[in-house]
Amino acid sequence: MFGFAVPVRATLAILVALIALSCRTTHRVPTSMPADLVITGATLIDGTGAPPRLGITIAIRNGRIAAVAPDGEIEIDARAKVIAAAGKHVIPGLADMHVHFGRGGGLPNNPQSVERVLRQFLSYGVTTVLNLGAYSGRPDEIVDLRRRQLAGEMLAPHIYATGGADGAREPPDQPMGKESARGRRCCDLRLV
């Protein structure tokens, strides 16, 4: 009718592209963000390799980051606790992938000492730890620490574990590794 034919596939591709462009939205931060804690004026190092971002506001709700935006783009709820962080840096939580806590050796050997060590990790910015065992560490104690941390009963980093250091103090004539009864318990927990 018009003297030219447009292939159906090309027409469909153009239509899909136009619809996609018309639906494209930019990420907008809500003007009012209900938050428990707001950090303002921080320099954010996000861990991606991007350059540090100056003058950032971070809104935190229920222990989770709810919004990150340049200062002034988030209206701060009057009920939120505000931390003025000008001149300070915010980084992602650190992970220590080789720690030992539990019973044995020179390690803390009572629950209060272990909890103190775990809180100390947090004060250093370590939000995740991997316990690689202790001389006579009992896996059930580590599992209980992890359960308590996840339930919010104890202030501690996220805890991952491999189990006890099976065989570290066993006499040479005793079976070691996953063949021993204690070793099977450690391996069957599948904590990591």
Topology of domain 32-90 in CATH is Urease, subunit C; domain 1 (2.30.40)
- CATH superfamily for domain 94-189: Amidohydrolase (3.30.110.90)
- Average pLDDT across the chain, whole number: 74
pLDDT at residue 113 is higher than 70: yes
**Range of lowest pLDDT (97-101, 122-126, 137-141, 174-178):** 174-178
User: Domain segments of the chain: what residues?
Assistant: 32-90, 94-189
Residues 66-90 pLDDT 10s? 999 999 999 888 889 999 999 999 9
Contacts of 105 (CB under 8 A, 6+ apart): 134, 135
> Are 32-90 and 94-189 the same fold in CATH?
no
Residue type at 96 in one-letter notation: D
Assessment of whether the complete model's pTM goes beyond 0.85:
no
3-state secondary structure 71-107: CCCCEECCCCEEEECCCCEECCCEEEEEECCCCCCCC
**Range of lowest pLDDT (60-69, 76-85, 162-171):** 162-171
